[in-house]
Structure 1
Amino acid sequence: MKTTGNTIFISGGSAGIGLAIAKKLHAEGNKIIINGRNEERLQKALSELDGAAAIVGDLANESDRIKIADELKNKYSDVNIIINNAGAAFGYLLSEQTNALEKAQIEMNVNYFAIIHFNELMIPHLLQKQEAAVVNISSLAVYGSHKFLPTYGATKAALHSYTVALRYTYEEQKNLQIYEVYPPLTNTEFSSYIGGENGIPPSEVADELLIGLKDNLFDIPVGETKIYAAAVGEAMAKIASQANH
C-alpha cells in the first residue's frame, strides 16, 4: 500500500517501538496521531514529531477505547491506518506466589481483548477509505513461551490467531489490509527487565514495517523471528506437499 500521505494512529506511541514507528512513518510524509496514558510522555514524544497529534487515554479501559475511537472518527476523520502497538507484559516465575491469574488477565485484556474491541470500533470507518490498514504488533513469543514471561506468550499467540482470522474475513475488501509484525527482544524500557539491552533497536522494527507496507507483506517477522517464521513456513509447505500425494 502507499506509505506516504496517510493518517496513522499508533497506540503506545510515546516510547519504544511505537515511537520508533511514529518517527519512521512521520519522516515518510504521513500525519501521525500517537496515543498513551501519560500526558507528559506524549508531549515529549510530540516534540520529536513536528505537526503530529496525541490522544491521551488507556486502551485497556473500555470507555477510553470508545472515547479514542470517537475522537479519531470525528476530529481526525482522515485516519486510514491503525497500528495496535500498546501492550502489557509481566516478568515473573510461576513457582513464586505472584498472583499469576491477575497478571494474565491484565496481559490478555491489553494484548488481545482491547485490540479486538478497538478494531471493531474502527474497521467500519476504515472500510470507507480508498486504502486502509490495521497493523497488529505481535511478538516472537507467538512461537513459544518463556519461563520469565509465563503468560505473555499466550496473549500474543491469541492475537496472532485473531489477526489471521481478521485477514481472512476482509480478504475480499481490497481496500483494507491486515498486517502483523513480530518483533524479537527489542531494546526498550518495556523489555528492560528481561534483558532488553541485548535486543535489536526499535528502529529496526520500524524499518521492517515500512518495507512490509511498501511490498504488501502482511506477515512481517523481524530479526531473530525470521528464523522461526522460515522454519514454520517450510514445515507447512512439507505438510501440504505430503497431503497432495
Structure 2
Amino acid sequence: MKTTGNTVFISGGSAGIGLAIAKKLSAAGNRIIINGRNSQRLQIALSELNDAVALQGDLSVEADRIRIAQELAAQHPDVNIVINNAGTAFMNNLGDSTNDAVGKAYQEINTNYLSVIHFTSLVLPHLLKQADAAIVNVTSIAVFRGNKYLPTYSASKAALHSYTQGLRDTFAENDKLNIYELYPPLVNTEFSAEIGGANGIPASEVADELLLALANDQFEVPVGDAKRFHQLAEPLSVSSH
C-alpha cells in the first residue's frame, strides 16, 4: 500500500515501538494520531512529531475504546491505518503461589487480546469505507514459544497472533483492506527494561521493517531474531491474499 499521505492511528504511541513507528511514518509524509494513557507523555511525544495529534485514553477500558473510536470517526474521517500496538506484560512466576499469576494474566489477556478485538470491531466499519486501508497488529517473537519469565504474556500474544490470521482470512477477498502482523523481538524500550531490554534492538529498527513491509504489501513482518522463528513456522501458516 502507499506509505505516504495516510492518516495513521497508533495505540501506545507515546513511547517505545509505538513512538518509533510514529516518527518513521511522520517523516514519510503521513499524518499521525497517537494514543496513550498518560497526557504528559503524549505531549512530550507530540513535540517530537510533525503534524500529529493525540487522543488520550486507556484502550484496556471499554468506555475509552468506544469514545476513541467515535472520536476517530467524527474528528479524523480520513484515518485509513490503525496500528494496535498498546500492550502490557508482567514477569509471572507460575511456581510462586503468592504471585497472583491469574490476576496478571487477566490484565495481559484483556489489554493484549480482548481489547484489540473490540477496538478493531469498532473501527472496522470506518476502515472499510476507505480506498486503501490497513490494520497492523503488533504481536511478538513470544508467539512462537512461551518461557518461564513471561508465560502469560506470551500466551496473550499467541492469542492475538491467531486472531490476526483469522481476521486476514476474513478479509482475504477485500483488496482495499490489508491485515499486517508485526513480530518484534526483544527491543530496547522502557517497556522491556525488566526483562533485559537493554540488550535488545533499537525500536527504530522495528519501525524501519514495518515501513518496508507496508510498501511491499508484506503482511507478515518478523523483525530481527523473530525472522528465524517465523521462517520455521511459515509453512504452517495460511497464505495471505
Matched to 1:106, the amino acid is Q
1:4 alignment partner in structure 2: 4
| Post-superposition offset of 1:146 | 1.3
1:136 alignment partner in structure 2: 137
Matched to 2:38, the amino acid is N
2:152 alignment partner in structure 1: 151
Q: How many residues align?
A: 236
Query: 2:82 aligned with 1:55, yes or no?
Result: no
Equivalent-residue separation in structure 2 for 1:128 and 1:233 (angstroms)? 31
Query: 2:52 aligned with 1:23, yes or no?
Result: no
Equivalent-residue separation in structure 2 for 1:229 and 1:77 (angstroms)? 35
1:174 alignment partner in structure 2: 175
Match of 1:78, SS state, is coil
- Map 1:1-245 to 2 at 5 A: 1-96=1-96, 97-233=98-234, 236=236
Equivalent-residue separation in structure 2 for 1:92 and 1:102 (angstroms)? 10
CA shift digits 1:51-90 (9 cap, x unpaired): 2000000000000000000000000110000000000100
| Post-superposition offset of 1:231 | 1.5
| Post-superposition offset of 1:233 | 2.7
Q: Is the 8 A contact 2:92 2:104 kept in 1?
A: no
Q: Is the 8 A contact 2:190 2:197 kept in 1?
A: yes
Question: Share of identical aligned residues, percent?
Answer: 60
Deviant stretches of 4+, over 6 Å: none
| Post-superposition offset of 1:124 | 0.7
Unaligned runs of 5+ in 2: none
RMSD: 0.9
Matched to 2:230, the amino acid is A
| Post-superposition offset of 1:150 | 1.7
Equivalent-residue separation in structure 2 for 1:233 and 1:48 (angstroms)? 37
Equivalent-residue separation in structure 2 for 1:32 and 1:233 (angstroms)? 32
Q: Is the 8 A contact 2:8 2:83 kept in 1?
A: yes
TM-score by length of 1: 0.95
CA shift digits 1:96-124 (9 cap, x unpaired): 21101110000000000000000000011
| Post-superposition offset of 1:149 | 0.7
Q: Is the 8 A contact 2:140 2:184 kept in 1?
A: yes
Equivalent-residue separation in structure 1 for 2:166 and 2:92 (angstroms)? 31
Equivalent-residue separation in structure 2 for 1:170 and 1:120 (angstroms)? 13
